[in-house]
Structure 1
Amino acid sequence: MLKHWPPLNALRGFEAAARLGSFHKAAEALNLTQSAISQQIRSLESYLEQPLFHRNGRSVSLTDAGHDLLSTTQSMLQQLAVGIRRLDQYRKPNQLVVNTTPAFARHWLLPRLGDFRQRCPEVDLWLFTSFEVPDMASQTIDLAIRDDLSAQAECSFSVLHQDQLYPACQPSLPAAGRCTLHGEREMDWSHWQVEGGEDVGQQGKGLNFSDPGLLLDAACEGLGIALVSQLLAQRAVAEGRLQALSPQRVRGPAWACLVHRDSQDDPLARGFLEWLRGELG
């Protein structure tokens, strides 16, 4: 990587002069004097230690090095412009940035967002999903709702819902030779056994999933039996895509919330949390 970069203004002046084929037209386009453009080009050529333009009176044309640099500069300036425009999303007046897991977003939150939009149309929600717990102190996140949270500095922490787990599969899946689907943490069958769960034909071999959302999807697709979250499986059960293999329930993960201190008095965050608590029951 270069230790020193040419000034951005010099690159903008070069790009305009190269694109328009004239120092004079470049000066008009950038609202500068022609002498300022000429100075920018000379400083850039001095930095690169080679000419970028052939000069013939008032007309200029690119050297081979200039043609090469033009494509690079235009690509860089375009990417920079897109990146700067994208920053507008961080200063929307009614934006609320919510972090959660992909599984919670897909199986629980997404089916209910229509209701939230009707109740709180003023909230410009940005749903940011991640497998890893965010660092609320260093990331631009108003609140996080996850099943793997613990207290963090500069945040309020509260448990919203204590989940339960049970074994389930697709209703039409034959009982004979059912594959066992394995998850991680509480969704592992060892947790079911430690909590005193009955034998439903689970085996040590089978298919393994690190994402509880994919585990639930696999069970709904008829790939086997799985230990699923009662919270996340609500919709699949209601739609007849999943059925319980036992009336027994065991302790699941605790769904908790972190609210950054800068958002604790924000009416948008309070409104979202009130709606969320009401939906979780």
Structure 2
Amino acid sequence: MLKHWPPLNALRGFEAAARLGSFHKAATELHLTQSAISQQIRSLEAYLEQPLFYRSGRSVSLTDAGFDLLSTTQSLLQQLAVGIRRLEQYHKPNQLVLNTTPAFARHWLLPRLGDFRRQHPEVDLWLFSTDEAPDMASQTIDLAVRDDLSAQAECSFKVLHADRLYPACHPSLLAVPDEQRTTLHGEREMDWSHWAVEAGIDVGQHSHGLNFSDPGLLLDAVCAGLGIGLVSQLLSQQARAGGLLQPLNERSIRGPNWAWLIHRDSENSPLTRSFCDWLQARLEEKTTA
């Protein structure tokens, strides 16, 4: 690996001259003198110890090495430009960074996001979904809403909703005999062993079947008619209202607690308060099952 890299300005000058086929045009584009462009190219050639251009009067053309370097330089500069533009998202005005689980984002928040946007168009919401709970002290996150949160330093913690779980399937599976229905298994509270202990009711579940680590994906599979599953009452509201789910039993059992963490630097922000007030109001709406 090179211990030293050629100056970025020299690479920019080379790329412009090679693309335009002229030192003069490159100088005009970069707001430099032609002499400055010529010096940049000479320094680059000296660094690489080989010529990059054939020079004939005022016209220039690339050597084979120049063609090779042009492809590399254009790719490098494009990637750098994209990376720099991406940094703009870290200082947008009115930005609110929300962390949540993929399941909550897809099944609960996304169907209601239009309502939030209509009520609060001033909030530039950045939805950051992760499988693991964030470290609020080291990550640039204003607010986290998840079912796997515990208190963290310099954050306010609040339980928002006690979820319930119930066994369900797609309506098309109701006529299928129990022994022919696939059982869909999940992790943590979504596992059937939790149902067996809390409810003690046999709804045709089996110990084998399909297994999911993501409760959102498990819910998708149940709605798609792949089998019976233990689903979240909160996350399944939209699917149930759309006729994609049918409870296998009227009983529901204790599920995970949904909570929020708000970093102290964001706690008094009007943007944070707008989202939190909206979130609490929507969570308090009646759930089914």
Normalising by structure 1, we get a TM-score of 0.94
Of 178, 185, 189, 2:181 maps to: 178
Tell me whether 1:115 sits opposite 2:125 in the alignment. Answer: no
Gap runs ≥5 in structure 2? 285-289
Corresponding residue SS for 2:257: strand
Structure 1 CA distance for aligned equivalents of residues 281 and 80 of structure 2? 43
Structure 2 CA distance for aligned equivalents of residues 260 and 55 of structure 1? 61
Structure 1 CA distance for aligned equivalents of residues 2 and 101 of structure 2? 39
Q: Is the 8 A contact 2:145 2:259 kept in 1?
A: yes
- Match of 1:207? 210
Structure 2 CA distance for aligned equivalents of residues 239 and 31 of structure 1? 60
The one-letter code of the counterpart of 2:272 is A
Tell me whether 1:106 sits opposite 2:109 in the alignment. Answer: no
Structure 1 CA distance for aligned equivalents of residues 6 and 275 of structure 2? 47
Structure 2 CA distance for aligned equivalents of residues 255 and 192 of structure 1? 19
Q: Is the 8 A contact 1:53 1:63 kept in 2?
A: yes
Label 1:161 to 1:2 Cα distance change in 2 as closer, same or farther (>3 A). Answer: farther
- Match of 2:224? 221
Of 261, 271, 279, 2:274 maps to: 271
Cα deviation, 1:50-92, whole Å, max 9, x if unaligned, reads 1111223333221110111111111221222222223223222
Structure 1 CA distance for aligned equivalents of residues 231 and 211 of structure 2? 13
Label 1:59 to 1:123 Cα distance change in 2 as closer, same or farther (>3 A). Answer: same
Structure 2 CA distance for aligned equivalents of residues 41 and 135 of structure 1? 47
Tell me whether 1:39 sits opposite 2:39 in the alignment. Answer: yes
| Equivalent residue runs for 1:16-165 within 5 Å | 16-165=16-165
Q: Is the 8 A contact 2:199 2:251 kept in 1?
A: no
What CA RMSD, in Å, does the superposition of the two structures yield over aligned residues? 1.6
Label 1:39 to 1:153 Cα distance change in 2 as closer, same or farther (>3 A). Answer: farther
Corresponding residue SS for 2:14: helix
Question: For structure 1, which segment, 187-196 or 133-142, has the greater mean C-alpha deviation from structure 2 after superposition?
Answer: 133-142
Normalising by structure 2, we get a TM-score of 0.91
Of 182, 190, 194, 2:193 maps to: 190
Structure 2 CA distance for aligned equivalents of residues 144 and 79 of structure 1? 31
Determine what percentage of the aligned residue pairs are the same residue.
78
Gap runs ≥5 in structure 1? none
Corresponding residue SS for 2:61: strand
Question: For structure 1, which segment, 197-206 or 86-95, has the greater mean C-alpha deviation from structure 2 after superposition?
Answer: 86-95
TM-aligned CA deviation for residue 175 of structure 1: 4.4
Structure 1 CA distance for aligned equivalents of residues 21 and 207 of structure 2? 72
- Match of 2:287? none
The one-letter code of the counterpart of 1:246 is N
Q: Is the 8 A contact 1:170 1:222 kept in 2?
A: yes
Structure 2 CA distance for aligned equivalents of residues 7 and 258 of structure 1? 45
Structure 2 CA distance for aligned equivalents of residues 114 and 17 of structure 1? 48
Structure 2 CA distance for aligned equivalents of residues 118 and 57 of structure 1? 63
Q: Is the 8 A contact 1:197 1:250 kept in 2?
A: no
